[in-house]
Amino acid sequence: MTTAKVEKTLSSITEPLIKQIPFTARGDELFMKMAEILDAQSEQVRLDLKKVLDSFLLKMMKNQASDIDLGGAGCDGKIWYRIFGDKKPHSRKQNYKVEETDFLLLNILVKSQRNLLLRDRNLDFSYGIDIGEGKSQRFRVDIYFDLEHLAMNMRRIDNTIRPFKSLGVSAEVAKALSLKYYKYGLTLITGITGSGKSSTLDTIIDANNRTVDSHIVVISSPVELIHKPLRSVVRHREVGRDVESFKAGAIQALRQDPDIIVIGELRDPDTIMTALEITDSGHKTFSTLHTSSAMDSIDRILGEVPTEEQNRVRTRLADVLTCVISQKLVPSLDGKRVLAKEVLIANSSVRAAIRNNNIGEIYQMLMEGSEKGMNTLEQDLKRLYVEGKISKENAINYSNNKSKIVQLLNETGY
């Protein structure tokens, strides 16, 4: 559908619904009243609303956008797409009412999801559409409140798993990520939101699924890419649907005879402690953190636990940590984005630094650890610049250590 036709369709569907909203309804009362009005509609009305939302997602795919945002005051009545890193409205002329997008978003929620959204003021789940020829596309959805109205972000889940070689890691790091060579240990994939952590994690899961006879348990919120069992049994457990929490899923996994446990995110102290404990019990564990460097990841884990627990956690982390990959997606010269990463292998020197609370020493170990497969983010940004993949400006802008990247570029005449 064209933009004008979509706007007309959405308006024609929602106008009679909006008229039924009591003028005095506010906050949760407004939300519940709109849900009640929607539930009273025919199946055709519900289906027509879904078609409107799906048309936005099809446009998203056509534009090669990674994200879509709509609803609430913050979108100013427009549909926003993030395309190759930049977020812009599809049309400046769009002007959807917040009540129109409220009904559009409420329509894809079942009663139990509405209750969770009211309780937590936020809801994560997955959503799929039919794209023809027997194919489908899945999205990661986050719905929340913006000035008493519903707002949403959807991220397109890449159905294509990147080949392991695309990670560009050394043979030593590849061994650390494989169950074939390392039977236990904790590997962290870290980075800010939108840095490709999930894609990297899926690549690692796929590599193990293809090469090792094992049982892999994936605990996610929500489940994004679904791995078809190849050489491994692969279980997908979605938080809020299949299991109550990351912590509960990890503990329950111990009774399911797993070889690899994937915890989608270390969000809180309880989940962090559980991840350390299940790894210490002899399992290979993968997870993600919202941190920008290997040292920040270690500091974050230690900082999340009470002071009286930090020495014990520091010792346990030193014992179980195998690898940290901290990554960023940097705008490339061809108008797309390219992966830049910092890689830490927990050798004896790194473990000693963690135990002795000398985290600051690790950066130098990264700088000098190329033979072991390690590198700083700044070294990788320099490599990408020298190879002609990114600009000097972005090499500096995306670094964690500005003075170090400038020094590295100046040392080689770049």
The set of residues, in sequence order, having a beta carbon less than 8 Å from that of 230 and lying 6+ positions away, is 209, 210
CA atoms within 13 A on the CB side of 34: 28
Pairing outcome for strands 185-190 and 321-331: parallel
Pairing outcome for strands 284-289 and 260-263: parallel
Query: What are the chain's domains?
Result: 3-156 (3.30.450.90), 164-375 (3.40.50.300)
Q: What parts of the chain have a pLDDT lower than 70?
A: 1-7, 412-414
In this predicted structure, what is the pLDDT of residue 366? 96
Tens digits of per-residue pLDDT, 300-358?
Answer: 999 988 888 899 999 999 999 999 999 999 999 998 899 999 999 999 999 999 999 99
- The total of other beta-carbon atoms located within 10 Å of residue 257's CB is 9
pTM of the model: 0.78
Task: Give the phi and the psi of residue 125 in degrees, each rounded to 5.
Answer: -165, 175
Asked if residue 338 lies in contact with residue 372, where contact means CB atoms within 8 angstroms, the answer is: no
In this predicted structure, what is the pLDDT of residue 414? 57
Asked if residue 102 lies in contact with residue 147, where contact means CB atoms within 8 angstroms, the answer is: no
Segment (H or E) for 377: helix 377-386
